[in-house]
Amino acid sequence: MNKVQTIEEFYKTKLNWMPDNLKKEMGHFNVFRIDECACKRNRPAPYSRKDYYKISLLKGKNLIHYADKTVQSNRYALLFSNPMIPYNWEPQDDDQSGFFCIFTEDFFSQYGVLKEYPMFKPGHNKVYILSDEQLKEAETIYTNMYKEISSDFLYKYDAIRGLVFKLIHLAIKMQPFEAACYSASNGSTRIASLFSELLERQFPIESTMQSMKLRSPVDFAEQLSVHVNHLNRSLKEITGKTTSQLIAERVSQEARTLLKHTSWNISEIAYSLGFEELSHFINFFKKNFNQTPKAFRDRADV
């Protein structure tokens, strides 16, 4: 898998210049038109993580890859990416336009917790297909970002933060139930949130020398200092799934990602996912996908 791209590398490779205000302690924000960073149809951007957040408005026919998922967008889409999830998008025609903004987590450090919004949470939707009306709303938001960032208004970055939240809320309104599911605040919700954070902290796997340490419900219960039965009840209440199911789903997702986007051999992938024996990984994969890891990789390469 490609190494994490830093925000400095983005400016050097995509734009061949470096902004004067790239001060990480203050946070950073910028907005661009896609044609300013031309993406060649036959040379899609590498599938990788970035160390910054990015929200893209894509106009055109595209294949959007994130984690282990691929989404087809035939017209308009909003793509939300964050430092935890590797992604890329492949233009499928030459009629490409749109906008994107990039920003660091520090840019919002005193204005809310980005990770608490559904599109930035692990396992949630990252791609939102837009109608004509929603496209106009999103384009207006990006146009206003352009106006603010080029202005001399003393509080322009406060205004820009508000515009970013407008994009986030536009997407949330498209899936209100998903957002509502995570609005409760109680003991079970807290345990579920801590479990999710512990699980996601082990991903993505970026080296064949890296291996998952927390693999069983007992492992997680010990880390959280709760009884394994209490952990299981809490997760069942919040997610409708058992601890084992949630672990298996996340391991399965990472397995598909590694098989599809790396050249590692299957033994190396099995080790990185915490399987002591290759046969255990093969049986796990067949149980979840009704095919062997090799068969999945061969089909993904077609």
The three-class DSSP label of residue 138 is helix
Residue-range domains of the chain with CATH = 7-180 (2.60.120.10), 187-300 (1.10.10.60)
Mean pLDDT of 180-187: 49
Which pLDDT score, from 0 to 100, does residue 179 have? Answer: 41
Which residues on neighbouring strands pair with residue 76, listed in sequence order? Answer: 59
Which pLDDT score, from 0 to 100, does residue 238 have? Answer: 85
Which pLDDT score, from 0 to 100, does residue 163 have? Answer: 95
For residues 78-109, one letter each, b for 16 or more C-beta atoms within 10 angstroms of the residue's C-beta and e for the rest, the string is bbbbbbebbbbbbbeeeebebbbbbbbbebbe
**Is the pLDDT confidence value at 146 over 90?**
yes
pTM of the model: 0.64
DSSP string for residues in 29-96: EEEEEGGGG---TTSPPPSB-BSSEEEEEEES-EEEEETTEEEEESSEEEEEE-TTS-EEEEE-SS--
Beta-carbon count within 10 A of 293 CB: 21
